[in-house]
Amino acid sequence: MSESYNINNVELTELQDIETSSRPYFSGNIDLIKNVKVRLTVKLGDAEISVDELFRLKEGSVIRLEKEVNMPIDIDLDGKIIARGVIVAVDDSYGIKITEINNK
């Protein structure tokens, strides 16, 4: 048994945004993206050292960071600080307990 088909080219219409008064469908709808994973990084701190100091680094050397121990630590999402907290131990791992949320 054989079948016959009509084969035609498809013409694509040029599309442009049309201004309408309707509201955005998904604006602020977190539900749609709630399972998307993001990565939070926690930076302990920075230090500025001179090249001389770098060349003198050896086992046992101490590098002092700028961050004071009584200051909260930044929690970073894609370069933006979203919260701050203090270092804790969670079982055998480091963890961070949130002390402030950045709402700005």
Where does this chain bind other proteins (CB under 8 A)? 30, 33-52, 54-55, 57-70, 73, 75, 77, 82-83, 85, 87-101
Q: Which is nearer to other proteins, 3 or 91 (CB)?
A: 91
Per-residue b/e over 43-70, b at no fewer than 16 CB within 10 Å?
A: eeeeeeeeeeeeeeeeeeeeeeeeeeee
- For the bound state, the minimum distance from the C-beta of residue 7 to other proteins, rounded and expressed in Å, comes to 46
- For the bound state, the minimum distance from the C-beta of residue 34 to other proteins, rounded and expressed in Å, comes to 4
Q: Which is nearer to other proteins, 25 or 55 (CB)?
A: 55
- For the bound state, the minimum distance from the C-beta of residue 21 to other proteins, rounded and expressed in Å, comes to 30
Q: Which residues contact 99 (CB under 8 A, 6 or more apart)?
A: 72, 84, 85, 86
**In the structure encoding, which two tokens stand for residue 70, read together?**
């009584």
